[in-house]
Amino acid sequence: MSIFGQYKAGLRDFQAGAKSWRIAHLLGYSLLRQRYSRSRLGQLWLSLSTAITVIAFGLVWSLLWNQPIKVFLPYIAITHIVWGLITASLQDATTSLSANGALFGNQETSFATVIYSLVYRQLIVFAHNIIIIIGMWVYFKPPLNLTLIYFVPGLLLTVLACVFTAYLIALIATRFRDVVQLIINVIQIAYLVTPVMWMPEFMPKSYNWLLTFNPFAVFLSLTRDPLLGRAVPENYWLIACGITLTLAIITPYLVGRYSKRIMFWV
């Protein structure tokens, strides 16, 4: 099969997964319901645990960085929530295909369906945590402006990149199981070098290029900054589009080339 044929085969898998959106919805939502099936608060524990975490981090780190709480705590809260959306999708992808092997063998479900379901699950968690962001807006009254409208394209671009990256990670991690620990370590290191617990302006201007070449920092800024009333750097949009376009070329090609081998790897 030619390279173009393999790319088309990969696209067909993505399309088949989109047509099975009901299965993706059931897979994503049922896991959350299962986790909190015997809890009185149910899925509100997601928001409650996140709120406790961000308040604790925000109070401590505002003192360490000598920053006003009304500025730093909303930043920490929104950044932490967006960071969870991105990294949880990537980390769950490492075991997504191997954990659903029976689904592929018995029902001939598209591999992309599982990828859609895990990203969808993280979007549900993100939606639950929106209440925390609203609470920060009401209490601290950050300077929101028209930049808020850029949240929608920023979130869409981030989710699209997460889908392609998650599928790529799932494909590699299913073939090479040692990659699972590698991905976890990369995310842990990225947490330290990405402005999650510190603000981008803390970085000396001569080293701002480190943030530009950090894809986590770029996509984090696309979704976080509009919610804080901050302008997203223009070059971040170009970089994010370039990364997403590259992933949209590489991932379907690799899926089309190795899709017939995935069942043997699972």
pLDDT score, position 100: 72
pLDDT one-digit tens code per residue, 60-70:
888 888 888 88
Give me the half-sphere count of Cα atoms (radius 13 Å) on the Cβ side of residue 46.
Answer: 21
What's the pLDDT at 28? 82
Instruction: Tell me the residue range of the domain where 253 lies.
Output: 3-265
At residue 170, does pLDDT exceed 80?
Answer: yes
Residue-level pLDDT at 23: 83
pTM: 0.90
The pair phi, psi for residue 110, each rounded to 5°, is: -65, 140
Given this model, what pLDDT does residue 237 score?
96
Mean pLDDT for the chain? 87
Whether the CB-CB separation of 18 and 116 falls below 8 Å is answered with yes
In this structure, the number of other CB atoms found within 10 A of the CB of residue 252 comes to 22
Q: Is the torsion defined by CA of 33, 36, 42, 48 positive or negative?
A: negative
* DSSP codes of every residue in 135-152: HHHHHH-----GGGGGHH
Q: What is the pLDDT of residue 35?
A: 65
Low-confidence winner among 32-36, 78-82, 195-199, 237-241 (lowest mean pLDDT): 32-36
Structural domain count of the chain: 1
The answer to whether residues 68 and 62 touch, using CB atoms and an 8 Å cutoff, is yes
